Structure 1
Amino acid sequence: MASSLHNLLSKIIKKGHLTVHGSGGTQHYGGGGGRTVTIRFTDEAAEKEMVSDPQLKLGELYMDGRLLVEQGDIYEMLALIKDNTLVEGLNFSMVWHGVLRMIEAQFRNRVPINHNRKNVSHHYDLDEKLFSLFLDEDWQYSCAYFNPPGISLDEAQVAKKRHIAAKLLAEPGQKVLEIGSGWGGMAMYLAESSEVDVTGITLSTEQLKISRERAAKRGLANSVRFELQDYYYLPPTKSYDRIVSVGMFEHVGRLNYKKFFNKVNDVLSDDGVMVLHSIGQPYPAIYNNPWIEKYIFPGGYIPSLAEVLPSIEKAGLLVSDIEILPMHYAYTLRHWRERFMANKDKAVALYDERFVRMWEFYLAGSEMAFTHEAFHIFQIQIVKKRQAVPDNRDYIYEKEAELREFEQRRIPLDKIAV
């Protein structure tokens, strides 16, 4: 094994047990008392690359099959590393790559270029069959709400829609805007449960196509429409009673928060209500994870509440409710990863082994962010007038009870005759 990798792992792994099979034989690290993981490097060059830039190379080596996990899985390996401290193991190459990424992030923040359509297409315009391998029956590609604990993924995704719909306080006949409409599940739920008129906007051509097909199948063509539209170019002359955005804000970028909430202010009616559901992190990031930036979500950024709230206030909007969901996305991602790996052969047939390892690493790394790095979901309710919502939260639970009754009557999409 490369001496540089041996020295790094000796400094890092104190808790748990890591066995490494490498070019120079087998080495053991850690004092036990935690996770047990065994990995294998297929060549000495891979060991050296790992040391040079672990934030990027760990994922790349796993994708390329040059780093194999022989005991445990990739989540257990990532969690083992996070269970230990990395600071004392830093070398010059790691520090230098970190400095370069900080400089790049600062430059990107000062020279904003709108690549929204391209960035969204990179991730969401993949083969639709891929997402069917691990999502719930309604194709909800955002954090589920596991309340009560232990419910299935499908039940938790319905609970998420129910919880958000209750906070929206939508009433029959109102006009609703969904910013980032995914595959249409939330828009259709709102239209049917609250008898509202919904416009969903997306930058994904694949999601647009499927959303329209699903809405037509449910007979909602007159009350739900989907458009290929950037939120920034929504005409200010249009007004919506309710606005919802679920899992889209992570793609806005911190330079654009002011633009985003100014646009919300433009199109939200004076008595309107918005619910914003987004991944959050406990403090602002200096730069994005380089592997996620390169392979999964180019241009994405996970905000902290401290970065979001000032832009809401400066736009002349009021925050009427904030709820933090700490671990629900960890549970969601675990379900997704288990479903995806159970359908591994189908995923390989769609793409190839390297793509499957990339997707597994993405799901595992994302789960680890919620279990080990205090990532969370925040739901912010936003109004223009304080009187737009009640002064207690009882209405949420009362509305959820009504929505449960609606769900009992609702016909599943796969049971609707074409």
Structure 2
Amino acid sequence: MLLHLALRRLIRHGTLTVRYPDGTERRYGTGGEPAAAMSIRTARALRGMTFNPALALGEGYMDGEIAPEGCSLFALLDLLVMNLEAGGTHPGERVMELWRMARRRLDQLNPARRARRNVAHHYDLNGRLYALFLDRDMQYSCAYFRTGRESLEEAQAAKKRHIAAKLLLDRPGLEVLDIGCGWGGMAITLARDHGARVTGITLSEEQLAAARRRAAEAGLSGRVRFELMDYRAWTRPVDRIVSVGMFEHVGIDHYRRFFTTVRAALKEDGVALIHAIGRSDGPGATNPWLAKYIFPGGYSPALSEVLPAVEKARLFVTDIEILRLHYARTLAEWRARFAGNRDAIASLYDERFCRMFEFYLAGCELAFRRGGHMVWQMQLARRQDAVPLTRDYIAAAEAPGRVAESA
């Protein structure tokens, strides 16, 4: 059996027990902890796990053809990821990874029409779904845990303060462009707490409607507006640009266009802050299950793939910060809230959808906890002197907000 041979090579730490479709049970690894078990219930799932496990494991779990036994889904995935990161190999997956690398530029082609369709796939879901596992401000990106003891709400508020500080909002009335504005939380915060005038752009009709409603409810419609617009359509210079969790949807073929658009949209003394998921282990390809079911056209780049495009756009990198385990903590919070509201989410969709989201949240958490994924924040400017000489201004700008929140 080919899968049996593959698992013998893969599992070198801990113990994995597998029950095959014919009832046979086999054990792999050291016999010690950590331990997990799974049942492969159909011949179709067995074939998938043999030849394309990165896709088949998630599909099998969604369809009930693969199931954890005596452990949680997270524990099962944790054991598998641990062994993959330790150098274990699956011959079928190695071949498929080479194929994915060969065609990744094609997979990431995101002209405006396709980009809109890809965004709708994930972000135009029922808005109540996201309200059931995100924080109160609907921040669907990495939070910022200064100590690790914060609640999700506190950490997301800290993330917004941290980004606002890097935007150098040192006077009221600065005009900010928010590329990929989500449900409007960042734009509303910049207007309310920092006196900025903000335009948020998105390709999601669901997010657009929610953001406009929230701005009106906050009494900020005069300072914040939202538009259904592709970033490539923006033509007017602004003082500041912020983009949080959108760059992963740009596509590697479009990086140069993205940064030339940023440069053209910045005034001469302007500052931009890009916050995105990246990979610390070099260029790769998007997991096929994630690309098919969660983020079509999405890719989290290595900085070595991003910086050449920044250089060609003639932008200065004035600051880069790497957030390592912050997203793992964020995803753990989302996963716990999703589990606590699972019945309500199932009533919106169905059991298969719940399994899909459980697999997504658990797998992504492990990508940050054990794999090579991280978050980078890159501050950019057209001029070297657009920001102070040292980073001291960031902490100074954050301090009043932290004191107010503590009070």
C-alpha change, 1:142 and 1:16, in structure 2 (3 Å) is same
Quote how far apart the aligned CAs of 1:378 are.
Answer: 0.6
C-alpha change, 1:88 and 1:173, in structure 2 (3 Å) is closer
Residue in structure 2 matched with residue 218 of structure 1 by the alignment: 218
C-alpha change, 1:112 and 1:182, in structure 2 (3 Å) is closer
Matched residues in 1 for 2:103 and 2:384: separation? 41
Residue in structure 2 matched with residue 41 of structure 1 by the alignment: 40
Percent identical pairs in the alignment equals 49
> Structure 2: which 5+ residue stretches go unaligned?
none
Residue in structure 2 matched with residue 227 of structure 1 by the alignment: 227
Deviation per CA, 1:87-117: give whole Å up to 9, x if none.
Answer: 66434x54543343333325456x7644110
C-alpha change, 1:194 and 1:95, in structure 2 (3 Å) is closer
Residue identity matched to 1:157: Q
Contact 1:212 1:225 in 2 (8 A): yes
Quote how far apart the aligned CAs of 1:21 are.
Answer: 2.1
Contact 1:283 1:306 in 2 (8 A): no
* TM-score normalised by length of structure 2: 0.94
121-130 or 365-374: bigger deviation: 365-374
Selected match of 1:400 from 398, 401, 405: 398
Corresponding position: 1:328 with 2:287: no
Contact 1:184 1:211 in 2 (8 A): yes
Residue in structure 1 matched with residue 348 of structure 2 by the alignment: 350
3-state DSSP of counterpart to 1:84: helix
Quote how far apart the aligned CAs of 1:393 are.
Answer: 1.2
Residue identity matched to 2:206: E
Quote how far apart the aligned CAs of 1:339 are.
Answer: 0.8
Quote how far apart the aligned CAs of 1:48 are.
Answer: 2.6
Contact 1:4 1:48 in 2 (8 A): no
Corresponding position: 1:360 with 2:358: yes
Matched residues in 1 for 2:284 and 2:402: separation? 43
Residue in structure 2 matched with residue 153 of structure 1 by the alignment: 152
Contact 1:279 1:375 in 2 (8 A): yes
Corresponding position: 1:183 with 2:183: yes
CA RMSD of aligned residues (A): 1.8
C-alpha change, 1:221 and 1:408, in structure 2 (3 Å) is farther
C-alpha change, 1:50 and 1:259, in structure 2 (3 Å) is same
3-state DSSP of counterpart to 1:187: helix
Matched residues in 2 for 1:187 and 1:389: separation? 21
Residue identity matched to 1:326: R
> Structure 1: which 5+ residue stretches go unaligned?
410-418
Residue in structure 2 matched with residue 65 of structure 1 by the alignment: 64
Matched residues in 2 for 1:45 and 1:201: separation? 43
Matched residues in 2 for 1:328 and 1:263: separation? 29
Residue identity matched to 2:166: K
Matched residues in 1 for 2:84 and 2:94: separation? 15
C-alpha change, 1:295 and 1:303, in structure 2 (3 Å) is same
Contact 1:193 1:406 in 2 (8 A): no
Matched residues in 1 for 2:389 and 2:133: separation? 39
Matched residues in 2 for 1:405 and 1:107: separation? 49
Deviation per CA, 1:123-180: give whole Å up to 9, x if none.
Answer: 0000011101110000000000011221111110001001111111112011111001
Matched residues in 2 for 1:79 and 1:71: separation? 14
Matched residues in 2 for 1:147 and 1:331: separation? 12
Residue in structure 2 matched with residue 293 of structure 1 by the alignment: 291
Contact 1:18 1:37 in 2 (8 A): yes
378-387 or 53-62: bigger deviation: 378-387
65-74 or 352-361: bigger deviation: 65-74
Contact 2:283 2:305 in 1 (8 A): no
Residue in structure 2 matched with residue 193 of structure 1 by the alignment: 193
Counterparts in 2 of 1:55-134, with a 5 A limit? 55-85=54-84, 89-91=89-91, 93-108=92-107, 113-114=111-112, 115-134=114-133
Counterparts in 2 of 1:243-258, with a 5 A limit? 243-258=241-256
